[in-house]
């Protein structure tokens, strides 16, 4: 008999990858406030009573709490709603996990650091700067301090989901290309580690299967910049000679992207490496796979 996983907040780019990876070996109940797939059921996980009721009724072996507000500008403008979604709902998940005596998976982020160091491993102390980062770190701390058995996986610059679900950097670049832009203005003062959703889900499965719980950084191999990622996108699409790239600093977009962001979100997968469980591939390899699989008919 397959073990069962209850997944909340599964309607986005990461949730889709978790569904595709885990459906092979587990019985899943995937839920979201936005029922955009036939494999999703409705749940607003901010409704703590309904959250508890649905999970208990399914009686899973694991609880995966995936969803969150990740738009930094939205979070800055909607602080109360952000903490309700990104922090309070996680506290509910911890209570459910403890009551049912099952492991909880919580997704954290490289954005909880202040960016003053070049690289961050699991021993570095987070110093969140904005509403989004604070809400995520408060949830992370609560899980670590109160959950009986947990797995916290920190992602870097997430990529996945394709045109339908990707709201991050790669989709924003591809959208500009599709619109016919012949010059792209890209910041060259922000550094991080791309994180392919499918690699992230597969590495999570490896940790669950081996019962290696705790806190893990989980980003693709290789640290880079927004500018370098864009260069690689154009190279993969054979557009590097037809679209001009212009370097700018973050102030160039300060009116649109006004929320504070760390200059460096470079994650080191130290614990995964130490345990011989680092399945995250080089970011260039996963970027090419992502574009080939999800954007072949987009442009």
Q: Could you report the per-residue pLDDT of 261-285, keeping only the tens digit for each? A: 999 999 999 999 999 999 999 999 9
Give me the pLDDT at residue 170, please: 97
Query: Mean pLDDT, to the nearest integer, of 172-185?
Result: 96
What's 3-162+195-222+267-281's CATH class?
alpha beta
Among residues of the chain, what percentage have pLDDT more than 90?
A: 97
Local confidence band at 299 (pLDDT 50, 70, 90 cut-offs): confident
Query: Mean pLDDT, to the nearest integer, of 172-198?
Result: 96
Give me the pLDDT at residue 289, please: 98
> Quick check: helix, strand or coil at residue 260?
coil
Domain spans of the chain? Answer: 3-162+195-222+267-281
In tens, the pLDDT along 235-269 reads 999 999 999 999 999 999 999 999 999 999 999 99
Cβ 39 vs Cβ 30: under 8 Å: yes
pTM of the entire structure? Answer: 0.96
Neighbours of 189 (CB within 10 A): 15
């Amino acid at each position: 008999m397959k073990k069962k996983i209850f997944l909340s907040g599964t309607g986005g780019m990461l949730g889709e990858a978790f569904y595709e990876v885990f459906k092979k070996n587990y019985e899943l109940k995937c839920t979201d406030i936005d029922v955009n797939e036939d494999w999703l059921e409705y749940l607003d996980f901010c409704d703590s009573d309904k959250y508890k009721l649905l999970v208990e009724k399914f009686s899973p072996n694991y609880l995966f709490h995936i969803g969150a507000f990740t738009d930094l500008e939205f979070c800055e403008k909607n602080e109360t709603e952000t903490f309700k979604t990104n922090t309070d709902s996680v506290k509910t998940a911890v209570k459910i996990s403890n009551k049912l005596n099952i492991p909880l998976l919580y997704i954290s982020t490289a954005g909880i650091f202040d960016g003053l160091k070049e690289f961050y491993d699991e021993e570095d102390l987070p110093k969140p700067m904005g509403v989004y980062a604070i809400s995520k770190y408060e949830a992370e701390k609560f899980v670590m301090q109160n959950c009986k058995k947990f797995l916290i996986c920190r992602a870097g610059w997430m990529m996945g989901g394709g045109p339908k679900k990707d709201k991050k950097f790669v989709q924003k670049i591809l959208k500009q290309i599709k619109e016919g832009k012949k010059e792209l203005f890209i910041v060259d003062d922000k550094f991080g580690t791309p994180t392919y959703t499918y690699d992230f889900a597969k590495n999570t499965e490896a940790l669950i299967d081996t019962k290696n719980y705790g806190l893990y950084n989980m980003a693709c191999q290789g640290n880079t910049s927004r500018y370098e990622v864009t260069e690689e996108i154009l190279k993969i699409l054979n557009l590097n000679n037809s679209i001009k790239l212009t370097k700018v600093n973050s102030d160039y977009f300060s009116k649109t992207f006004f929320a504070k962001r760390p200059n460096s979100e470079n994650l080191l997968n130290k614990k995964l490496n130490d345990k011989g469980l680092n399945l995250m591939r080089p970011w260039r390899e996963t970027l090419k796979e992502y574009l080939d699989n999800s954007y072949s008919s987009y442009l």
